[in-house]
């Protein structure tokens, strides 16, 4: 595989950007490929290599690259302008649409990134309850801001900096951690910090440590416990929202949080974050309340248009049904393979998400960290050379899109069998 142009670009980038990249997880060793273009399920690099893409922009591209309905909506919006600094009709329409699917978001605000959405949701929870402490799951990733960069997953876990430098001790001390899937630990934590905890923030499925699935009844138990302790429950559905189905993980599991954050798919591939929840909580946000949040690009019409077109298409074409079937087939094929070869590896995920763990199926962060990361990266390199681009970390999730074809899946399974064989 030739990567000469990518290598030259990366060599120059190393002098211009920390680690040569704009976001840490992209800093693949020895150097990343540089994308020239992407279409459908494929991504093509500057040296002309063509890969089947399962990274899919880390989740937003559920319809693949450049899906026609989204592209057309963006083009239509471009003709009307792309930044107004005033309210526009689209935000009213989009908010109404979001609430149809996620009724627990009685009111919401549009921001520019998922990280901004979680940062704001936490501020609102603190303002509403008048309490400082926040509980998150060990290995939970909610963006890159101070309050949540403590035992963080995703790139932070991959890069070995789950506890970021530069986060003041006075901030970190208010971020409490419990293991995912451990209701006793959460109960003990809320008990020990009675009347001090503003919120529990969690992904209903931990998609930023690979996907780690909630055990049966766990989310309902978290809901009951937070209610009992008067603590707000924030579901961070930046990945799971519109991924596991139209109604998010909260619809899928039938558990209603007090607040929700959305992003990724909700922007149709353009930058977005949305936070919302119960009316009495959201009324705390300025200008109706005293929790301040503002942004030049809040509710930007291009992202709203792309998000709207994505949701409309997902619903109209019943995309999830087919996509989730494909996910089931792929995960089923992989687990059969692992069973046969007795390698002790596992496959995790649900709906259109999966990940291969080089170890037993993890139920939490600690178990996930025990899986063999080096072996995953060897597997990753083999897959790339076979023309399949997976996210470059075991602690990320592989995403299917509506653009992936049966042929893509056949090529992928063959590449997996070969790559796993080459590891021995
Ligand atoms: C990606 C992600 C975020 C951060 O979103 P950005 O748009 O990258 O800021 C927050 N929470 C979860 C669960 C995510 O997967």
The alpha carbon of 225 and the centre of ligand 1 are apart by a number of angstroms equal to 25
254 and 353 inside one domain: no
- Inter-CA distances, 191 with 88, 139, 185, Å: 45, 22, 10
CA 215, 376, 263: angle at the middle one, nearest 5? 55
8 and 99 inside one domain: no
> Which atom of ligand 1 lies at the shortest distance from residue 58's CA?
1
The CATH number of the domain holding residue 387 is 3.90.1150.10
The alpha carbon of 235 and the centre of ligand 1 are apart by a number of angstroms equal to 12
Which stretches of 54-188 are assigned E, i.e. beta strand?
A: 107-111, 133-137, 175-178
Is 260's C-beta closer than 6 angstroms to any atom of ligand 1? Answer: no
> Which atom of ligand 1 lies at the shortest distance from residue 273's CA?
7
Rounded Cα distance, 276 and 281, in Å: 9
Residue position matching structure tokens 């519109």: 242
pLDDT at 333 (0 to 100): 92
Q: In what order do the strands lie in the sheet with 398-399?
A: 346-348, 353-357, 398-399
The CATH number of the domain holding residue 238 is 3.40.640.10
Is 141's C-beta closer than 6 angstroms to any atom of ligand 1? Answer: yes
The alpha carbon of 56 and the centre of ligand 1 are apart by a number of angstroms equal to 14
Is 53's C-beta closer than 6 angstroms to any atom of ligand 1? Answer: no
- What is the DSSP code string of 345-391? -EEE--TTEEEEESSSPPSSHHHHHHS-HHHHHHHHHHHHHTTEE--
pLDDT at 390 (0 to 100): 98
The alpha carbon of 288 and the centre of ligand 1 are apart by a number of angstroms equal to 27
- Is the per-residue pLDDT at 328 higher than 90? yes
Contact 375, 423 (CB under 8 A): yes
Phi, psi at 11, each rounded to 5°: -55, -40
The alpha carbon of 242 and the centre of ligand 1 are apart by a number of angstroms equal to 14
257 and 332 inside one domain: no
**For the purposes of burial, counting CB atoms within 10 Å of the CB of 184, is it exposed (0-12), middle (13-18) or buried (19 or more)?**
exposed
Rounded Cα distance, 219 and 6, in Å: 44
40 and 181 inside one domain: no
Is 396's C-beta closer than 6 angstroms to any atom of ligand 1? Answer: no
pLDDT, tens only, 110-169: 999 999 999 999 999 999 999 999 999 999 999 999 999 988 887 777 776 778 899 998
Report the percent of the chain where pLDDT is more than 70: 100
Residue 343's pLDDT band (cuts 50, 70, 90): confident
What residue numbers bound the domain in which 303 lies? 68-315
Rounded Cα distance, 402 and 38, in Å: 15
296 and 322 inside one domain: no
Residue position matching structure tokens 């080089």: 358
- Is the per-residue pLDDT at 109 higher than 80? yes
- Is the per-residue pLDDT at 342 higher than 90? no
pLDDT at 164 (0 to 100): 86
pLDDT, tens only, 390-418: 999 999 999 999 999 999 999 999 999 99
153 and 34 inside one domain: no
58 and 72 inside one domain: no
pLDDT at 154 (0 to 100): 78
150-154, 265-269, 323-327: which range is least confident on average?
A: 150-154
Torsion of CA 70, 71, 76, 82, to 10 degrees: 90
pTM of the shown model: 0.97
Instruction: Tell me how many domains the chain contains.
Output: 2
Decide: helix, strand or coil at residue 259. Answer: strand
157 and 217 inside one domain: yes
Element (H, E) at 123: helix 114-129
Residue position matching structure tokens 């008990």: 191
Is 64's C-beta closer than 6 angstroms to any atom of ligand 1? Answer: no
In DSSP terms, 43 is beta-bridged to 38, 51
Q: Strand pairing of 273-277 and 133-137?
A: unpaired
Contact 158, 393 (CB under 8 A): yes
Nearest to 276 by CA among 96, 136, 110: 110
276: Cα separation from own chain's centroid: 17
- Is the per-residue pLDDT at 65 higher than 90? yes
Torsion of CA 305, 309, 311, 315, to 10 degrees: 160
Pick the last residue of a domain from 315, 342, 366. Answer: 315
Is 211's C-beta closer than 6 angstroms to any atom of ligand 1? Answer: no
- Which of 25, 56, 60, 118 gets mutated to test ligand 1 (max ligand atoms within 8 A of its CB)? 118
Rounded Cα distance, 313 and 294, in Å: 30
pLDDT, tens only, 171-191: 999 999 999 999 999 999 999
118 and 13 inside one domain: no
Decide: helix, strand or coil at residue 320. Answer: helix
For the chain, how are helix, strand and coil distributed in percent, rounded to 5? Answer: 45, 15, 40
266 and 297 inside one domain: yes
- Inter-CA distances, 390 with 166, 377, 379, Å: 31, 10, 10
Contact 384, 30 (CB under 8 A): no
- Inter-CA distances, 418 with 71, 93, 379, 414, Å: 36, 49, 10, 6
Report the percent of the chain where pLDDT is more than 90: 93
Contact 292, 260 (CB under 8 A): no
213 and 259 inside one domain: yes
Rounded Cα distance, 65 and 71, in Å: 9
Pick the last residue of a domain from 315, 349, 365. Answer: 315
The alpha carbon of 212 and the centre of ligand 1 are apart by a number of angstroms equal to 16
Average pLDDT over residues 55-77: 98
Q: Residue 217 contacts by C-beta under 8 Å, 6 or more apart in sequence?
A: none
Residue 105's pLDDT band (cuts 50, 70, 90): very high
- Inter-CA distances, 267 with 78, 82, 141, 225, 323, Å: 15, 14, 19, 32, 19
284 and 352 inside one domain: no
Averaged pLDDT score across all residues of the chain: 96
pLDDT, tens only, 283-301: 999 999 999 999 999 999 9
Pick the last residue of a domain from 286, 315, 344. Answer: 315
């Amino acid at each position: 595989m030739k990567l000469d142009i990518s290598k030259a670009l990366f060599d120059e980038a190393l002098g211009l950007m920390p680690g040569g990249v704009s976001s840490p997880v992209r800093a693949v060793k020895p150097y990343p490929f540089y994308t020239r273009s992407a279409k459908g399920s494929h991504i093509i690099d500057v040296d002309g290599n063509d890969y089947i893409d399962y990274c899919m922009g880390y989740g937003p591209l559920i319809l693949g690259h450049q899906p026609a309905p989204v592209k057309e909506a963006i083009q239509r919006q471009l003709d009307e302008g792309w930044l107004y600094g005033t309210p526009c009709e689209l935000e009213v329409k989009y908010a109404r649409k979001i609430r149809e699917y996620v009724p627990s978001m009685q009111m919401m605000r549009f921001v520019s990134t998922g990280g901004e959405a979680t940062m704001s949701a936490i501020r609102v929870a603190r303002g509403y309850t008048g309490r400082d402490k926040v509980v998150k799951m060990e290995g939970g990733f909610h963006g890159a801001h101070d309050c949540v960069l403590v035992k963080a997953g995703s790139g932070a876990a991959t890069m070995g900096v789950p506890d970021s430098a530069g986060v003041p001790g006075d901030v970190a001390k208010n971020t409490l951690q419990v293991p995912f899937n451990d209701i006793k630990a959460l109960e003990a934590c809320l008990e020990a910090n009675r009347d001090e905890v503003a919120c529990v923030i969690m992904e209903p499925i931990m998609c930023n440590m690979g996907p780690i699935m909630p055990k049966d009844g766990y989310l309902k138990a978290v809901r009951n416990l937070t209610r009992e302790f008067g603590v707000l429950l924030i579901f961070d559905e930046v990945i799971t929202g519109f991924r596991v189905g139209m109604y998010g993980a909260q619809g899928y599991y039938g558990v209603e949080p007090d607040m929700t954050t959305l992003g990724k798919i909700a922007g149709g591939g353009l930058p977005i974050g949305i936070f919302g929840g119960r009316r009495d909580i959201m009324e705390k946000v300025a200008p109706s309340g005293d929790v301040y949040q503002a942004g030049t690009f809040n509710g930007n019409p291009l992202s709203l248009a792309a998000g709207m077109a994505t949701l409309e298409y997902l619903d109209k074409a019943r995309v999830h049904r087919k996509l989730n079937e494909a996910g089931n087939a792929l995960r089923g094929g992989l687990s059969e393979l692992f069973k046969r070869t007795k390698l002790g590896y596992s496959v995790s995920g649900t709906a259109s998400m999966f990940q291969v763990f080089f170890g037993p199926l993890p139920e939490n962060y600690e178990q996930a960290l025990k899986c063999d990361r080096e072996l995953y990266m060897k597997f990753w390199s083999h897959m790339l050379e076979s023309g399949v681009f997976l996210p470059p970390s075991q602690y990320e999730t592989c995403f299917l899109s509506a653009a992936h074809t049966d042929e893509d899946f056949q090529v992928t399974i063959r590449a997996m069998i070969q790559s796993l064989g080459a590891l021995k």
